Amino acid sequence: MEKIFNKFIFCLSIFSTLGCHNDTGSRYLKDIATGTGFKNIADGKILFFFNGLTGWDASGSLYYVLDYSNVDDNIRFTNTTSKERFFLSGRDSKFESIVDDFVLDKLSNNYNYFEEKYKIDWNQPYIYYSANEEYVGTAMIYYKETELLYVLSYIVG
């Protein structure tokens, strides 16, 4: 009986390690792309990925920086599921505040260790998308000058 139990624990630990292994984060990005309707965001090259998912339910924060320069201009930011979802241009202090709160609350000290080039820069012109006006469910920030797309998401498992 003890041998069976030990084999079960061993198999469970191997299975859980394999299930949680995701080097690039592309699977989560594809889920975000499908969920928001901006399917072409998954075509960007992942330059930086932070995975803050924890626990058995895999709740937590995701933070991406994508090189969006190789995505065709004709399909960039095209929403394939809803015309009511689109990127907005111009600064928005409410949006910036919501994102800053997300960084402070959900990324906390981890954000301090991100390289500066992977941090959000509100001083640069940007366009943005937010799935919610009250909190970050999914938010995207695009800097045309550098062609970098930042994707932030909070997942409740």
SS3 at position 79: coil
Is a pLDDT exceeding 50 seen at residue 51? yes
10: pLDDT strictly greater than 50: no
* pLDDT band, very low/low/confident/very high, at 1 (cuts 50, 70, 90): low
Q: Which residue has the higher pLDDT, 32 or 155?
A: 32
Between 124 and 7, residue with greater pLDDT = 124
Element (H, E) at 155: strand 148-155
Q: Which of 11-20, 67-76, 121-130 comes out lowest in average pLDDT?
A: 11-20
pLDDT in tens, 62-95: 999 999 999 998 888 888 898 888 999 989 999 9
Model confidence at 17: pLDDT above 80: no
The one-letter code for the residue type at 124 is Q
The mean pLDDT of the chain is 84
Q: Which two tokens stand for residue 24?
A: 């690039």
Three-state secondary structure call for residue 146: coil
